[in-house]
Amino acid sequence: MTCMHSLDDTAAYQVITARDARFDGRLFVGVTSTGIYCRPICRVRTPRARNCRFFATPAQAEAAAFRPCMKCRPELAPAANDYAWSVMDASRTLARQAAQALDEQAASGDAKSLVDVAGHLGVSDRHLRRIFQTEHGVTPLQYLQTRRLLLAKQLLTDTRLPVAQVALASGFNSLRRFNAAFVDSYRMSPSRLRGEVEFAPLEGDSAVTIKLAYRAPYDTASMLRFLTQRAVPEVEAVEGLRVRRSLRAGAITPMAGWLEIEFATNAPVVHVRFAPALAPASGRVVAAVRRWLDLDATPETIDAALASLPGAPGLRLPGSTDAFEMAVRAVLGQQVTVAGARTLAKRLVERFGEPIATPWDDVTRCFPSPEVLASTPIERIAELGIIRTRAAAIIAIALAWNEVAALLATHARPEPLIERLCAIKGIGPWTAHYLAMRALGWPDAFPPNDVAVLKAMNQLFGIDSQRGADVHAQTWQPWRAYAVLRLWNSLEKAL
Ligand SMILES: [Zn+2]
């Protein structure tokens, strides 16, 4: 639901006056007297109502010739993910998928054409342009350009990357074009913007640091507990409000690296720090972290829909930084405890994971790559204590990975992914749905026949059959994945 289409100007003005953070990323206000557009949370003086124009996205504000505010920084606003595929009509779904494909392009610098995007989504280029304009109020090109410029603005503000690298990292393949586009939209050169930024004191390394905003509340305790319980030694470590991990080559970026996130205690912000080698792919890293930590969720919508379930407000769906790792770990987790799965993953990493240099002595290896596991004889995996059928399933996933990765990348509905995964021997519906939930971030995933879900539903609602559970769970659509997490957590608290 792009709720902004239904907010009239009076209501939108109230949001601005109240500095209502729930609307952050879903409403932007352009001020005609200054030519600047802001987030609702901006602390500058509230503009007069007659000077306000309201937009649902930065791209619309920029298409109307407004420039982003330097104080509230629209580029930090979380995206508006308060929609779910299952409740949208077909054109809206398509327009959203196209926007996601363009987001991915802005992040990667790949110059895929809209024709390719349309081809992937199975519609004509012309049809896609039309529904895109209807849903987003701008052309796909305007949308993409805004995304790139805002990413550039963020990198210029938050990092010390040279301007030429910023240009590349934000998807411009020539510095001249980047400068021209930047000046054209923001009426100042990239180097002048850089000059106006006050940097935090230099840290002792050249890591790229960046901050990402989310909509409060955020149940950080549940997220950190979830990640702690599953952290594979040498690959991932959680300490206080920080999570650090290695990134194997091919997981997010073509090169291997490392990253660390830290939840700020004084603002709804996550600080991200990553290896300088990943700088050219900064946009991809940012997009991956947003999905990993579910930073674009709209907690008030989700919490309201799940009011019948226990748990703190602001629960997020933990995603992943490496879908292949997630797939392998899902197989290792079949019919064993979380701790048991972690032990098996640890052995796999010790045997097959590439060593990597990071700033920490507890993150020393990358998760094994699909290429390595695809060419490993089954005996060598089985001898780690992984039962043979699961070792075979891991090899089968590794062999099919290119195809699975393509399905993950198209932002299509989850069904084709689930179908493809279930065609792999050793992958059942539970594992496939679990992957759709964690790797695709499908908010309505409901892994079938989950023992823990059934147990929790029995305790909470007296439901004693899978069929009863399925029927009851329908009331939680389209947020069943969040319901699953709440159900799992309810068992933990009971211990
Ligand atoms: Zn502002």
Q: Are residues 95 and 190 in the same domain?
A: yes
183 in a structural domain:
yes
Query: Which of 43-57, 100-114, 337-351 is predicted least confidently?
Result: 100-114
pLDDT in tens, 153-199: 999 998 888 899 899 888 888 999 999 999 999 999 999 988 766 55
128 in a structural domain:
yes
Contact 450/486 with Cβ under 8 angstroms? no
Q: Are residues 69 and 89 in the same domain?
A: no
Confidence of residue 201 (pLDDT cuts 50, 70, 90): very low
Confidence of residue 363 (pLDDT cuts 50, 70, 90): very high
Among 266, 295, 324, the domain boundary falls at 295
Q: What is the mean pLDDT of the chain?
A: 90
Q: Are residues 10 and 71 in the same domain?
A: yes
107 in a structural domain:
yes
41 in a structural domain:
yes
418 in a structural domain:
no
CATH number at residue 272: 3.30.310.20
Q: Are residues 52 and 117 in the same domain?
A: no
| 33 alpha carbon – ligand 1 mean position (Å) | 13
Q: Are residues 183 and 286 in the same domain?
A: no
pLDDT in tens, 374-416: 999 999 999 999 999 999 999 999 999 999 998 888 766 788 8
| 380 alpha carbon – ligand 1 mean position (Å) | 57
223 in a structural domain:
yes
Higher-confidence residue of 344 and 281: namely 344
Amino acid 85: pLDDT: 52
| 46 alpha carbon – ligand 1 mean position (Å) | 10
| 100 alpha carbon – ligand 1 mean position (Å) | 25
478 in a structural domain:
no
Amino acid 184: pLDDT: 93
What are the tokens at 220? 């950080």
- Alpha-carbon gap, residue 1 to 305, rounded angstroms: 14
Confidence of residue 492 (pLDDT cuts 50, 70, 90): confident
Active site residue 38: yes
Q: Are residues 175 and 214 in the same domain?
A: no
Catalytic residue among 219, 303, 444, 450: 450
pLDDT in tens, 94-153: 888 888 788 777 766 666 677 888 887 888 889 989 999 988 889 988 998 999 999 999
**Both ends of the chain: CA-CA distance in Å?**
38
Confidence of residue 27 (pLDDT cuts 50, 70, 90): very high
Higher-confidence residue of 279 and 371: namely 371
Active site residue 9: no
Higher-confidence residue of 33 and 86: namely 33
| 153 alpha carbon – ligand 1 mean position (Å) | 14
| 203 alpha carbon – ligand 1 mean position (Å) | 28
pLDDT in tens, 150-166: 999 999 998 888 899 89
- What lies within 8 Å, CB to CB, of 353 at 6+ separation is 234, 235, 248, 365, 366, 367, 368
Name the residues around ion ligand 1, CB cutoff 5 A: 38, 42, 69, 71-72
For residue 297, is pLDDT > 80? yes
Higher-confidence residue of 119 and 446: namely 446
Catalytic residue among 38, 42, 69, 72: 38
Contact 60/136 with Cβ under 8 angstroms? yes
Q: Are residues 65 and 140 in the same domain?
A: no
Amino acid 108: pLDDT: 66
Amino acid 45: pLDDT: 86
Average pLDDT of span 439-455: 92
| 294 alpha carbon – ligand 1 mean position (Å) | 24
Q: Are residues 58 and 116 in the same domain?
A: no
CATH number at residue 69: 3.40.10.10
Amino acid 283: pLDDT: 87
Q: Are residues 52 and 108 in the same domain?
A: no
| 30 alpha carbon – ligand 1 mean position (Å) | 9
| 35 alpha carbon – ligand 1 mean position (Å) | 11
| 45 alpha carbon – ligand 1 mean position (Å) | 9
Average pLDDT of span 258-271: 96
Q: Are residues 153 and 68 in the same domain?
A: no
55 in a structural domain:
yes
Residue-range definition of the domain harbouring residue 35: 3-76
Amino acid 87: pLDDT: 55
| 162 alpha carbon – ligand 1 mean position (Å) | 26
Confidence of residue 43 (pLDDT cuts 50, 70, 90): confident
Q: Are residues 225 and 289 in the same domain?
A: yes
For residue 84, is pLDDT > 90? no
pTM above 0.85, yes or no: yes
Average pLDDT of span 410-425: 87
One-letter amino acid identity for 142? Answer: Q
Q: Are residues 278 and 224 in the same domain?
A: yes
Structural domain count, the chain: 3
CATH number at residue 169: 1.10.10.60
